[in-house]
A and B are shown apart, each in its own frame.
Chain A
Amino acid sequence: MRHITGIILGSLILTSLTAFAAEDRRQRVLDDRTQVQAQGDWVYNDLGKGTEEAKRTGKPLLVVLRCIP
């Protein structure tokens, strides 16, 4: 019985940690967009808009592809 209780408790903790990690990751993705857009230095996740801006200003494009950690 003690073993079964231990397994159930362990599973609950693992499930809670997984859910917490998923929510944390989601928040980081949302925060990334908010923060980068607030800085105003980058066109965020919109290649078309970036290209139009480069054409308008005559500047070259720097396109960065990155994973949000």
Chain B
Amino acid sequence: MVQANTLDLAQFQFDFDLTFAAFFMNPDGTLYGRFGSRSDRKDAMKDMSMEGFRKALAAALEMHRGFPANKASLAGKRGPAPRFKVPIEYPFLQGKYAEKLDYEGKVVQSCVHCHQVRDAEFRLYRSDQKSIPDEVLYAWPIPGVVGLELNPQEKSTVARVAGGSAAEKAGFRAGDEILTLQSQPMLSIADVQWVLHNAPAQGTLKAEVLRAGQKTVLNLALAEGWKKKADISWRATSWDLRRMAAGGLLFARTAGGRSPKIESHGQTTGTDRRARR
């Protein structure tokens, strides 16, 4: 799929700031897992690898062999009903895009880019003069927000645990393979993000990990404000917010950490401008 115009938003819920995402599915629509993660503006492959993708694919094939006996464990992988069935139903995209790409005409301009779905979501709140809720603004948290650095070469294996983090307090250790989170089987870092994305502002997530051949259950406590630890500055959908807050300037700390420096200025793409009209 190379366009989001009529993408089924009930079926395909993913991080819309990504430029690559994959879904492993049964033909009946049951989702085995997701793939595709990003946390860095410049390095798109920081959180992904071909080896990790291969292992996720192999695990998805294994799940397909076990289907439908495993169907109940996969129910949580499907999200809540979306506000709009497809992107072109959003008020800010409605009437500007057709259902299909215009390959005979202006094909580039006829494409709804994935990030425009999030842009359109943000604009719903702004047009109602409401604050963008944390769960929308800090969507798809990278596991680092709870102190888990996962190895991109694996499906969902812990590479490092940050000191003093929620993950350390829960007892996670480097080398742990997260088998399930909230009873959902984990095929990738994106699957972990999916559970975090749907997790409450405060609460506990149950994880089953494989450690030295033994299964262990860990409880990850989420303290108030945990989602806000995410750095969203890499996201294309944050650039418009940056433009409003700081004229498009992105500040970063200098080596000494005392004063901010301007790291980059914001960008506004042609598609963003078109969507605003």
Contact = CB atoms under 8 A, between A and B. Distances in A.
A29 B18 CA distance: 18
B1 A60 contact: no
Interface residues of B, number: 31
B27 A65 contact: no
A66 B26 contact: no
Contacts of A8: none
Interface in B1-56: 1-4, 7-8, 12, 14, 18-27, 32
B26 A64 contact: no
Contacts of A30: 103, 107
User: By DSSP majority rule, is chain B's interface helix, strand, loop, or mixed?
Assistant: loop
B2 A63 contact: no
A19 interface: no
B57 A67 contact: no
Contacts of B32: 60
Interface string A27-57: 0011011000000000011010001001100
B22 A64 contact: yes
A22 interface: yes
A50 to B, nearest CB: 9
Contacts, number: 79
A26 B20 contact: no
Contacts of A61: 23-27
Contacts of B103: 30, 33
B36 to A, nearest CB: 8
A68 interface: yes
B40 to A, nearest CB: 17
A1 interface: no
B107 A65 contact: no
A33 B100 CA distance: 14
Contact of A60 (B4, B21, B25): B25
A25 B24 CA distance: 29
A67 B23 contact: no
B107 A60 contact: no
Given A45-B3, A55-B27, A64 B21 contact: yes
Interface of B: 1-4, 7-8, 12, 14, 18-27, 32, 57, 60-61, 64, 101, 103, 106-108, 111, 113-114
7 shortest A-B CB distances, which residue pairs? A54-B27, A67-B19, A60-B64, A61-B25, A63-B23, A55-B27, A65-B1
